[in-house]
Each structure stands twice: as structure tokens, then as C-alpha cells.
Amino acid sequence: MNTAVNAKQAGAAGNPGPGAPKTARGARTRARILKAAEDTFGTLGYHRAGISDITRAAGVAQGTFYTYFAGKEEILRELVRDMGHQVRAHLAAEIVDARDRLEAEEKGLRAFLQYLFENPSLYRVLQEAQFVDESIYRDYYEAFGKGYLRMLANATRKGEIRAGNNEVRVWALMGMSNFLGLRYALWERDVPFDEIVDTIADLFRNGLTLDGKEKAS
């Protein structure tokens, strides 16, 4: 995971935070602490994890932690923001070659399932963040949804998908990926990802009806 890049992105977005690193070396240290927090929260859970568990995993002194983060809740918030940047950057790279929105949906879903399988702490940290402060969880999905909505609006404009309430669609599609990931990437890998993607691609291309489009009603 390239947390350093995301620390830079956050800075470029005019959102440096009180402990934003001023040097490349500082950015690397901050990224190492974030990665350690991800592993520690993912393994022990947020409530049981202490800052000393994080600094030990990162191989830094406690004082170094406080150079970058005010405390446990702040690092959780930064971590979720950072994980969100990473998921979105990863998915964006995976769908860059898609010819149209439907192909992008297929590539995006496959990439998401694979990503989640390789980064299971994403869910655990996200879900637990709800109970620390629901806005952390909500911000994650609202940021995700904002980019997604732009893509669907573009696709509508280009005539790649039918007109409709794209915001509602975005929440439906995020929920779909979320549960498919939970069930088939985290709980049990008993259905090949290709079959999952094919099933959803068929839904997007033909709906659930036998002959695809409903007769004029």
C-alpha cells in the first residue's frame, strides 16, 4: 500500500491536518504509522488496540506518533480516509481501459473483490469506525459515492446507460459490492469471482426479466 502518495494527495487537496509531514522522510514515517495502525486495529480491534501497540508495530517512539497524530481517534479517521483514497485509486487504475460504463462496472467489481480479499482489515476497520464516530464511516461512503456519481452521470450523458436517478443507483451499487465482498471475498471464497461478475453483468445488461426489456407497460 502506498500511503505516502495518499498523504501527499491529502496535502495537495488543501487538507494537510495539524501533523502533515513536511519532508519525504516524514511522509514515509507517517505512512508507516498508518500501516501499523491498520494492522493493529485489524487484528486487535480498535478498542483493545493501544497507541503503544501501533508504535511498536511501526518501530517508532511514542513521541513520533504524536508528531503526526493527536491520538487514537484521529489516527483512525486518517486511516479510513487513507484507505478510501487507496481503494478508489486502485479501482480507478483497474477500470481505466474499459470501453464503456458497463465494462467499467465489471472490471471494478472484480478488482474490488480481489482487493478486499487481499486487504481484509479494510472492512473490520471501517465497520468498527462506525461506533467510534459514525461520521468516519459515513464520510468514507459519501466520498466513494461522489466519484461514482460523476462516473454514472458521464455515462448517462454519453448514452452508455439509461437515464435514471444515478444517486440512488450509486448507493444500490455500493451496497451490492459491499455485501458480495463480505460474503464471497471475506467469509467464504466458494464462488469464483468471474461467476459473481458475470451474474452482476447480466443484471446490468438485461435486468432480471426473461427477455431483458419489459414490454411497454
Torsion, CA 43, CA 48, CA 51, CA 57, rounded to 10 = -20
**Residue 17 CB neighbours (<10 A):** 17
Shortest Å, Cβ 206 to a copy of itself: 5
Distance CA 4, CA 34 (A): 10
For the chain, counts of helices (H) and of strands (E): 10, 0
Distance CA 215, CA 217 (A): 6
- When the beta carbons of 2 and 43 are compared against a copy of itself, the nearer one is 43
Count of residues that bind a copy of itself according to CB under 8 A:
53
205 binds a copy of itself (CB under 8 A): yes
Shortest Å, Cβ 2 to a copy of itself: 28
Residue range at the interface with a copy of itself (CB under 8 A); choices 18-26, 36-44, 86-94, 194-202: 194-202
Write the burial class of residue 51 (CB in 10 Å: 0-12 exposed, 13-18 middle, 19+ buried). middle
Shortest Å, Cβ 69 to a copy of itself: 23
Pull the grid cell for residue 194.
Answer: 468471474
Shortest Å, Cβ 47 to a copy of itself: 8
Interface contacts to a copy of itself, rule CB under 8 A: 45, 47, 101-102, 105, 127-128, 130-131, 138, 141, 159-162, 164-165, 167-169, 171-180, 182-184, 187, 191, 195-196, 198-200, 202-214
